[in-house]
Each structure stands twice: as structure tokens, then as C-alpha cells.
Amino acid sequence: MNLELSGKTALVTGSTAGIGVSIATSLFREGAKVIINGRTKERVEQAISLLAAVDPSRKGEIHGIVADLSTPVGIKTLKDSVIHVDILINNLGIFESKPLIDVAEDDWARMFNTNVVSGALVSQHFIQGMRERNWGRIIFIASESAVNIPADMIPYGVSKAAQIALARGLAETTAGTGITVNSVLPGPTYSEGISKFLEELPLDHGQDRAALERDFLAKLRPTSLLKRFATADEVASLVTYVSSPLSSATNGAALRVEGGLLRNIF
């Protein structure tokens, strides 16, 4: 299927690893020009090299921005460096497992600045150009934890619920235009950061990765229909479609790619 992304410019925040780099790679494969974002020059350059290997002849269509978007300085750096964006993927996010009694005030601020405020400010900036061109896609990478908030990840779940609300609110401002704003809700997904996360949980760690994932799902996410972690590429496939002109009738939606973990239909 031709997703008609040739000539479009996509910015993927937090895209040096995991779901972010998979989304960037998928968009690039479909013909989009891609802007990689990360906090260090080394990681950004590594991601650029990974994408360039897909099609070396198009290496000039990949750019990188080194900026920590959870900070005002990082937001300013991005705004000063990038003029035109057709597709904005708000992927930047952090997560951690911690009992609520141990969550400090700084933990709340860090979680919201990274997961919510960054996407709000970046979207607020780039949606102006989208309105002028009467076309654009904004997608927030939220989580099933926004709906099914884990007791040991309350700040994370609340921040992801806020992302979904933010996406819906922004979508309301696009009525009658060629712009859409949606959120995508991944479930447990294997990525670079998940190994350390699993190590901190009360699981049987004397197992291979697949068995450890099954143990996690059985004990902590038993409603999963997939019965395994999703891959970052599986999440990226949905995001890439929603980024395309073919998805023009999908706006203001919270779209699931969580392996059937959520038992409610709507």
C-alpha cells in the first residue's frame, strides 16, 4: 500500500531508541523526510546511521536535533532549529515503577514535564504551520496505562491519561481542516529500556527473555490477549498509517495497539 508520505517531513521526539526509532524508520521507509531527536549527539548520530542504512541514497533526508525537550532550553533549541514539520510524533516519554508513598514532588514534575508538557509545547508551536498549509498530523504515543493505571506506576499512568486528553483537546481545534490529532496506546512493548524495568519487578529472573515477558504478563497484565510483548515495529506500523493522508477520517481518537489487554470495548 502506498501511504503517500513522499515529500512529507516528520519529526519524531525521543527517537534514538525503542518505539521512537522504529517509528522514524517506518516513516522513512514510506518516503518521508525524518528529523531524529535525542538528548545526546552520540545517540542521535547512531539513529541517523541506522535509518541511512535503509536507503543510503536518501541520507540527506535525515536530520538530527540534539535537545532535551523536557526543559525550556531544549524546547527553544528545537523551535530555533526546525522550521517545517508536516508530521509530529510526540514519542518522548519516561516511565518507572515506584510505590505512590515513595513518589517525590520532583518525580511528579519530571514525569509531567517529559511526558505531557514537552508534547504540548511542541504541538502548540508546529500546529501553526500546519494550519497555514491546511494539512498535518500530530500523534501522541500514550499507553494502555492511561486507562488501566498500574498501582505501582500512578504518575506515569496519570501523565499518559493527560496525553490522551491533550490530543483530544487539540483535535477539537482542527475541525474542518486537513489536520488530525490522535493518540496511540501501546501495551507492553519490548524496547531498550524494558529490560531494566523488568529487573526491578518481583518476577522470576532466572529465565530467558521470552519466559520473563510471559511471567510479567501472567502476574501483572493477565488480561493480555497477545500473551507476549509487542514489538516496536508493530506499534510503528499503526503510527505510520495514522501519519498518512489515507487516515484523514481518523481524528481525536485514542487508538490501541496493546494486544487486547484492555477489556473494555470503547
Q: All 3 cell numbers of residue 32?
A: 518521508
- Residue labelled with grid coordinates 508530521: 87
Cα–Cα distance between 20 and 13 in angstroms, integer? 7
Cα–Cα distance between 12 and 67 in angstroms, integer? 12
Nearest Cα to Cα of residue 38 among 59, 56, 52, 24:
24
Q: Is 190 a catalytic residue?
A: no
Nearest Cα to Cα of residue 61 among 32, 83, 82, 29:
32
DSSP 255: E
Q: Cβ contacts of residue 179 below 8 Å, gap of 6+? A: 127, 130, 131, 134, 135, 136, 137, 138
Catalytic residue among 156, 190, 216, 229: 156
9: phi then psi, degrees, rounded to nearest 5: -110, 125
Question: Which helix (H) or strand (E) is 43 found in, with range?
Answer: helix 41-52
Contact call for residues 26 and 240 (beta carbons, < 8 A): yes
3-state secondary structure of 47: helix
Catalytically active residues are 156
